Amino acid sequence: MSDTALIAIDWGTTTARAWRFDSAGQLLGSRKAPLGIKQVRDGRFDLALAQLLGDWNARTAPMIACGMIGSRQGWLEAPYVDCPASLAALADRVVRTRVERLTIVPGIATIDAAGVPDVMRGEETQLLGAVDPGEHGMLAVLPGTHSKWARVDHGRVVDFTTFMTGELYAVLLEHSMLGRLAAGDPDAIAQDAFSRGAARGLAAGELSHDIFGARTLVLAGMLSPDDVADWLSGLLIGREIRAAREWARRAGADPGAVRIIGDGPLPARYELALADAGIVAETAGPDAAAHGLWRIALHAGLVTAALQPS
């Protein structure tokens, strides 16, 4: 334990995850707990932190956290940094809790083509951990309830855009006509149905029309009720990819390859749909948030650059 140089925490809405780094920037271990900011009572983030870290000796190492812990509903608000947002800019704008030695990384903000703000908290750190500061012109996706696509270049998040794909999937399947049509095992992926949905999503169309197709395809015997959920999943992810590709192209970025950052079953679905779209999918390594936090900690002087791993 004496070798712990940094404790890094990805502290979200429902879950908190902590990693320990040695002074050479190597991961020594991780802990995870259902201690997201929604679970913390009476603002006692200090108690939640102690519970999360357990027997790790938090008193001897600096701590850095990203995610919703820095939101208005979190421990201490870290105002958004505007895009393009570099590792250095994020490090400049960290905030520090008074009683604990915890540094909090800000989220980032941008403005879409229609002048409407877009925001992320936590994903910026994953992006800057999954994309090496030496890489340029990268397009990355973080699949999820609110999927984020970002252009990352030389340690900067140049711009990003959000799609509520996962939430749409959930509400449509649980509460709409599509859910009443759907049968079958929601965990197994029916690849053919998924790809048929993805093809519909990748084509020009309008979501509120395209989803009605589930009803008519089932009615016409062209889609099995067992396949409705995967068809819908493919449709929504296909539409997201199509829109994100156009978004990247408008910025002059090459959408020939996309790095997928995430875990669980979603990255495999994005790999399938990206292949259907003719886009190369790369999958980022694990612990992207941890690596991003290490890089920001270096820029913030929480750990010394001389000890940075080669």
The residues that touch a copy of itself, with contacts defined as CB under 8 A, are 112-114, 116-119, 146, 161-165, 167-168, 171-172, 174-177, 199-200, 203-209, 211-213, 216-217, 219-220, 222, 236, 239-240, 242-243
Q: Are 197 and 224 in contact (CB under 8 A)?
A: no
Q: Is the Cβ of residue 28 or residue 253 nearer to a copy of itself in the bound state?
A: 253
Q: Is the Cβ of residue 237 or residue 290 nearer to a copy of itself in the bound state?
A: 237
Minimum distance, C-beta of residue 65 to a copy of itself, in the bound complex (Å): 20
Q: Look at residues 33, 34, 100 and name the one whose alpha carbon lies nearest to residue 64.
A: 100
Minimum distance, C-beta of residue 213 to a copy of itself, in the bound complex (Å): 4
Q: How far apart are the first and last CA of the chain?
A: 23
Minimum distance, C-beta of residue 99 to a copy of itself, in the bound complex (Å): 27
Q: Is the Cβ of residue 28 or residue 95 nearer to a copy of itself in the bound state?
A: 95
Minimum distance, C-beta of residue 301 to a copy of itself, in the bound complex (Å): 31
Minimum distance, C-beta of residue 221 to a copy of itself, in the bound complex (Å): 10
Q: Is the Cβ of residue 21 or residue 149 nearer to a copy of itself in the bound state?
A: 149
Minimum distance, C-beta of residue 219 to a copy of itself, in the bound complex (Å): 7
Minimum distance, C-beta of residue 106 to a copy of itself, in the bound complex (Å): 14
**Cis preceding-peptide flag for 84 (omega within 30 of 0):** yes
Q: Is the Cβ of residue 118 or residue 226 nearer to a copy of itself in the bound state?
A: 118
E-assigned strands of the chain?
4-11, 16-22, 27-33, 63-66, 81-82, 85-86, 95-96, 102-104, 108-111, 117-120, 138-142, 147-153, 156-163, 257-260, 280-283
Q: Look at residues 50, 47, 52 and name the one whose alpha carbon lies nearest to residue 12.
A: 52
Minimum distance, C-beta of residue 232 to a copy of itself, in the bound complex (Å): 12
Q: How many CB atoms lie within 10 A of CB 221?
A: 7
Q: Is the Cβ of residue 4 or residue 165 nearer to a copy of itself in the bound state?
A: 165
Structure tokens at 266: 């979603």
Residue type, 153: D
Q: Is the Cβ of residue 158 or residue 214 nearer to a copy of itself in the bound state?
A: 214
Phi, psi angle pair for 9, to nearest 5°: -130, 130
Q: Are 67 and 14 in contact (CB under 8 A)?
A: no
Q: Are 83 and 157 in contact (CB under 8 A)?
A: yes
Nearest-5° angle of CA 17, CA 21, CA 23?
160
CA distance 82 to 107: 9
Q: Is the Cβ of residue 23 or residue 224 nearer to a copy of itself in the bound state?
A: 224
